[in-house]
Amino acid sequence: MVKDLLKGKNGIIFGALNDKSIAWKVAERAHEQRAGFVLSNTPVSIRMGTIDQLADKTGSTVIAADATSTDDLNNLFEQTMEIFGGKIDFILHSIGMSPNVRKGIPYTDINYPNFSKTLDISALSFHKIMQTSYHMDALKEWGSIVALSYVAAQKTLSGYNDMGDAKALLESIGRSFGYVYGRDKKVRVNTVSQSPTPTTAGSGVKGIDTLLDFSERMSPLGNATAEEAADFIVLLFSDLTRKVTMQNLYHDGGFSSMGMSNRAIEQYSKSFD
Amino acid sequence: MVKDLLKGKNGIIFGALNDKSIAWKVAERAHEQRAGFVLSNTPVSIRMGTIDQLADKTGSTVIAADATSTDDLNNLFEQTMEIFGGKIDFILHSIGMSPNVRKGIPYTDINYPNFSKTLDISALSFHKIMQTSYHMDALKEWGSIVALSYVAAQKTLSGYNDMGDAKALLESIGRSFGYVYGRDKKVRVNTVSQSPTPTTAGSGVKGIDTLLDFSERMSPLGNATAEEAADFIVLLFSDLTRKVTMQNLYHDGGFSSMGMSNRAIEQYSKSFD
Amino acid sequence: MVKDLLKGKNGIIFGALNDKSIAWKVAERAHEQRAGFVLSNTPVSIRMGTIDQLADKTGSTVIAADATSTDDLNNLFEQTMEIFGGKIDFILHSIGMSPNVRKGIPYTDINYPNFSKTLDISALSFHKIMQTSYHMDALKEWGSIVALSYVAAQKTLSGYNDMGDAKALLESIGRSFGYVYGRDKKVRVNTVSQSPTPTTAGSGVKGIDTLLDFSERMSPLGNATAEEAADFIVLLFSDLTRKVTMQNLYHDGGFSSMGMSNRAIEQYSKSFD
Amino acid sequence: MVKDLLKGKNGIIFGALNDKSIAWKVAERAHEQRAGFVLSNTPVSIRMGTIDQLADKTGSTVIAADATSTDDLNNLFEQTMEIFGGKIDFILHSIGMSPNVRKGIPYTDINYPNFSKTLDISALSFHKIMQTSYHMDALKEWGSIVALSYVAAQKTLSGYNDMGDAKALLESIGRSFGYVYGRDKKVRVNTVSQSPTPTTAGSGVKGIDTLLDFSERMSPLGNATAEEAADFIVLLFSDLTRKVTMQNLYHDGGFSSMGMSNRAIEQYSKSFD
């Protein structure tokens, strides 16, 4: 097995709640590949989850921050740069939440303060993180920033509600900031569009089990797991992907390029028996 | 010349400021094709522009409404349905504004209340209009809703700032609401991605003249004008496009499918002389 | 109902076999809208189908031509220009055939002479038609060319075989020729990506009924019919779409923008009962 | 620097002509990462180029094969499996040639036997390679196949001629075969859309220097080099990208997501001085 992919690199990983989180798996893989990192999440998520176990296991520090607060972010980057004695190399944004989804409010009855909250938490936070790091000059040249997305940004999924819109906005912010961050500081910015993953966050979506089954049968290689996503994201932090930027990269076993698979249509046809 | 494309149809046209506005041209064409409509804009835009002339010319009523206010929208739809004695057939959303662009604040210094305002005015207003009309059951079956967009939703343009993100969100809202509105009420929702157009709104973008020239030379048929956009939008309101929905339709002389044209590269090569 | 959309316009319609064909419906609608046209198909298809009835009904002439033969195409354009006393305004390409699909040869056992035949008939014929008309200067300024495509060009559908590749090539040829035809002669070129349609050609695909059902439930407005496709295509021939070029336009009830609908997932979930 | 990314893996690399070739760089990087491989090219290219030097340097065998000949491919795979004592892990397809481009024949004067040759060499060869390996069961589970592409598959570039169409077909074949190869053998198939690269093949395109300059200024990270492409492709052969399939991955410094950059528009504006 490869080692040292991230040797000498340091970063910040946002969004590890518990051992089902993709961010958790990224932290484990990054640690295996010799990266150092700070783990960050909101105070509430830190209390509700088990991030301290991850910090222990990976020898990393947890710093609480609400990624919608530029004050918190300033503080987080300052502390992080202190810990690592200077600029860092990578950032993972794995943050998303919709009060409308949580409360089961349909897309046609949307509560607009909720909608704004969805966008602020799930998309604007990505801009805030980048703007903060840009102004503090917190990333080295050829640094790498990744946010997690989902195919709902391109294709409407019943029940995914305003999170589809938030992911579309997230991906656009990745492109827009990717342009200026690349031009000015040689930092790259990408989003990874991952298979539906049975994390704590994902489990809030209604009918998720049937959707996971459909997605599994549609994807020639099956759904990508959180561990596999972590493998891929670690590569995006490495020096071997320096010229990939402003992209939305599908990590989904092929789902995004399928119109209809044999396995899915055969299952579907059973519904008429 | 064709007549009667919209005979018997009524609608609401948002966003006509003056005779350079695309919404103004749509109103003129819709009138020629025998549609009835209400013109709506914010009180400020009504004062600053010349919408009353358009109302006179087309025999239509002006109703002030801030499209970010659901109260205003409720009132607007109520009055409109009273004027036309029932449900309407089409809506045009031609609304967009970024305080960050107006004030020349770069994308890396964004003011977040401004960003939220950009999104609220330019994108969430589209959801609010549709949610209001959905709940009031204001549109007939096979009604048609169109919003104006720009290629900045897919490709980053220096200087277009947070409006690129707003257009990405707008298009996503079009898809998301298009799904439920189609499923529940047979109403279609599309966005039209128009060539850069020298309207009052467009003229705020820095270096717009050079961009217009580049776009003109890249597009095999040249930039599409506001009048041509109006022709196309009227078709989307007609009964001949009933099964087109959840689409972003490029009306741009071919620009969106070009990598490099002869005319643009020849002009570009002169820059080295 | 609108009339005169194509008044004074003449064209060529390729691919009407019988009254299930999309090209047949386009001919009927174009006739209603006062267009004149020549109907063309291969000698075999003319014998097997009922195109003469269509010619009678619409007062048009049938001219046999194999669209893969530039000699036949030269002859066809010459005769057509003689009939109409000069240049024409529109062309419909509704031609596609895969010997591999017909003979049930799987994509992993493809016969390469067959593959080349699929590409030649279904895609290169489009280039040949345009190159012939370009050199004979057979189209007026602002003329319009349309070819029928399918979402298999972007998304793989089990069983659609090498026709998916042929459609991808067809759409690319539309863009490539659209650039030069637009630049040099102001002629526009587009493809229409239509819902699966139970035509004679479409019925060769295995499991087409289940696919049609899935597509129907996924599309918020249901599958688009051949008649509705004809309405839309007639608009693309009219003067109201002059600046739309090099596009692939989805006419599919919303299918192409759906990830998962309520109706489809509910049906799918029944398969586990 | 990372080592051992491809330790224990063997493959075939098609298309190394000389030390400017992307395939050449891939061979060097794959060798550094401990892969074994066979180098293959046509007899003519072997004579004209310097592939033997590369074979010496990397301890690999050169086997001549015309990738449009299934007989040659059968022989190549047989010999390769003999050399490595069994199944292999990866394949690189870096093959493309257009007689129309070579001879300066414009897209509107295309010679159809030439066009078929372009498609056969540049796209159908990819299917032939995969069909041959599929039937010989030459790839291990979780094997990886990559072909090189270019953005001309999506966007028309003046002068790129029928190679744009060939790349569109190549990418479609990647998706179509990617579905069945993934489903049946857990092998993944992707295309890499690389910046314009001053290779021997690329240098045939007219006005390539100006295009390279424009592309450089448009891309926030500049054009990706052949060496950087090799880094990226090696990752796609590694075990860390197992669930990425049926994708077209842009490796282009951000070009594909740009509408207009500061640097490019400033240069362009100088053309008016």
Give a yes or no: residue C128 inside a domain. yes
Domain that holds residue C250: 10-270
Q: Locate tokens 């300052």: which residue?
A: A78
**Angstroms from A38 CA to nearest CA on chain C:** 36
User: Confidence band (pLDDT; 50, 70, 90) for A207?
Assistant: confident
The 3-state DSSP composition of chain D as helix, strand, coil percent (nearest 5) reads 50, 20, 30
Residues 6+ apart with CB under 8 A from A127: A173, A177, B110, B115
Q: What pLDDT does C273 receive?
A: 86
Give a yes or no: residue D57 inside a domain. yes
pLDDT tens digits along B43-57: 999 999 999 999 999
Token pair in block for residue B9: 């149809």
pLDDT over threshold 90, residue C153 = yes
pLDDT over threshold 80, residue B203 = no
pLDDT over threshold 90, residue A76 = yes
Q: Which residues of chain A have a CB within 8 Å of the CB of C193? A: none
| Average pLDDT score over residue span B79-93 | 98
Residues 124-163 of D with CB under 8 A from A: none
Q: What is the mean pLDDT of chain D?
A: 96
List Cα–Cα distances, D98 to D102, D103, D166, D183, D187, in angstroms: 6, 9, 9, 33, 29
Q: What pLDDT does C202 receive?
A: 61
Give a yes or no: residue B178 inside a domain. yes
pLDDT over threshold 70, residue D205 = no
Q: What pLDDT does C208 receive?
A: 83
User: Confidence band (pLDDT; 50, 70, 90) for C201?
Assistant: low
List Cα–Cα distances, A211 to A98, A150, B246, C80, D195, in angstroms: 19, 13, 21, 54, 37
pLDDT tens digits along A79-97: 999 999 999 999 999 999 9
Which of helix, strand or coil describes residue B36?
A: strand
Contact (CB<8Å) C156/D164: no
Q: Give just the sign of the alpha carbon dihedral A73, A74, A79, A80.
A: positive
Cα separation of B195 and B202, whole Å? Answer: 11
Give a yes or no: residue D155 inside a domain. yes
Q: Which residues of chain D have a CB within 8 Å of the CB of A221? A: 182, 186, 188, 242-243, 245
Token pair in block for residue C209: 């009924």
**Contact between residue D246 and residue D190 where contact means Cβ atoms under 8 Å apart:** yes
pLDDT over threshold 70, residue D206 = no
Give a yes or no: residue D1 inside a domain. no
Q: What pLDDT does D203 receive?
A: 62
Residues 227-256 of D with CB under 8 A from C: 246
Q: Which residues of chain B have a CB within 8 Å of the CB of A171? A: 168
C11 - beta bridge partners?
Answer: C37, C90
pLDDT over threshold 80, residue B249 = yes
User: Confidence band (pLDDT; 50, 70, 90) for B182?
Assistant: very high
Cα separation of B153 and B96, whole Å? Answer: 13
Cα separation of C92 and C126, whole Å? Answer: 10
pLDDT tens digits along C89-136: 999 999 999 999 999 999 999 999 999 999 999 999 999 999 999 999
User: Confidence band (pLDDT; 50, 70, 90) for B214?
Assistant: very high
Q: What is the mean pLDDT of chain B?
A: 96
Q: What is the mean pLDDT of chain C?
A: 96
Q: Locate tokens 């589209």: which residue?
A: B126
Q: How many distinct structural domains can be found in chain A?
A: 1
pLDDT over threshold 90, residue D267 = yes
Q: What pLDDT does B205 receive?
A: 61
pLDDT over threshold 90, residue B1 = no
| Average pLDDT score over residue span D191-196 | 97
Interface-testing mutation among C183, C217, C221, with chain B (most B C-beta atoms within 10 A): C221
ipTM confidence score: 0.97
Give a yes or no: residue B144 inside a domain. yes
pLDDT tens digits along D93-108: 999 999 999 999 999 9
Give a yes or no: residue A189 inside a domain. yes
pLDDT over threshold 80, residue C269 = yes
- Nearest Cα neighbor of D232 from D189, D194, D178 is D194
**Angstroms from C236 CA to nearest CA on chain A:** 26
- Nearest Cα neighbor of A97 from A55, A131, A48 is A48
The residue type found at B33 is Q
Q: Indicate the helix (H) or strand (E) that contains D249.
A: strand D248-251
Please name the member of C175, C188, C257 whose beta carbon is closest to the beta carbon of B221. C188
Domain of A204, CATH number, reads 3.40.50.720
pLDDT tens digits along C205-222: 667 889 999 999 999 999
Q: What pLDDT does B198 receive?
A: 85
| Average pLDDT score over residue span A176-187 | 98
pLDDT over threshold 90, residue B2 = no
Give a yes or no: residue D4 inside a domain. no
| Average pLDDT score over residue span A171-190 | 98
Q: What pLDDT does D201 receive?
A: 64
pLDDT tens digits along C28-47: 999 999 999 999 999 999 99
Q: Report the range of poorest mean pLDDT among B112-126, B193-207, D75-89.
A: B193-207
B210 touches chain D (CB under 8 A): yes
pLDDT over threshold 90, residue A1 = no
Q: Which residues of chain B have a CB within 8 Å of the CB of A173? A: 165
